[in-house]
Every structure is written in C-alpha cells, then in structure tokens.
C-alpha cells in the first residue's frame, strides 16, 4: 500500500469516527457525549477540535475491543470521554 493509500484510509477512518460521534450527539446516547462536548466548549475548545478528541477516544476503545476480542466497553468509553481533554493511555 502506498503512502497516499494509507493517508486516504486514515482520512476515511477519521471521517467515519467523526460521523459516529455526531450520531451519538444527535441521538443523545451515550449522554456523556453531549456532556463532554459541552465541557470542552466551555473550557475553550472549538467544536471541531472537541469532536476530534472524542473521535480519538472512540478509536482507542474500538481498537481495545478488537485487540481483546471483547464487547465494546461502554462504561470505559464514557469514563474516557469525561476525562477529556486527557486522552486514554495506550495500555
């Protein structure tokens, strides 16, 4: 795979993660998604930057789920959202 293919894949993945976060916000589930966006906005983050951080948290938890072959840890995801702008550790 070429660098441009990798970049295109990364951009597509990021776009889908942002879409998933936007869907969570629109659906109001999990509630921590809207609370996190509100908190980040209050402390001065732009909406796009806030969504980017939230997408990074979602990616972290999807990767963890796949690596551990386990169900998605919604409680852990919500906890990580609440901890933003601190990103979860790459344990």
On whether residue 77 sits in a domain, the answer given is yes
Residue 53 sits in which domain range? Answer: 3-83
CB 14: neighbour CB atoms within 10 A?
14
On whether residue 71 sits in a domain, the answer given is yes
On whether residue 75 sits in a domain, the answer given is yes
Phi, psi of 68 (to 5 degrees): -95, -5
Report the chain's mean pLDDT, rounded to a whole number.
93
On whether residue 90 sits in a domain, the answer given is no
Contact 40, 85 (CB under 8 A): yes
pTM comes to 0.89
On whether residue 52 sits in a domain, the answer given is yes
- Say how many Å lie between the first and final Cα of the chain, rounded: 28
On whether residue 59 sits in a domain, the answer given is yes
Query: pLDDT tens across 1-39, in order?
Result: 567 778 888 889 999 999 999 999 999 999 999 999 999
Of 12, 23, 90, whose CA–CA distance to 54 is shortest?
Answer: 23
Number of domains in the chain: 1
Tokens of 47: 């909406």
């Amino acid at each position: 795979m070429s660098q441009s293919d990798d970049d295109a894949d990364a951009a597509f993945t990021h776009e889908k993660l942002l879409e998933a976060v936007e869907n969570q916000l629109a659906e109001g589930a999990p509630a921590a998604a809207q609370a996190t966006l509100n908190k980040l906005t209050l402390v001065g983050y732009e909406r796009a930057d806030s969504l980017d951080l939230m997408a990074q948290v979602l990616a972290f938890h999807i990767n963890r789920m796949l690596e551990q072959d386990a169900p998605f840890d919604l409680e852990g995801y919500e906890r990580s959202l609440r901890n933003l702008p601190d990103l979860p550790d790459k344990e």
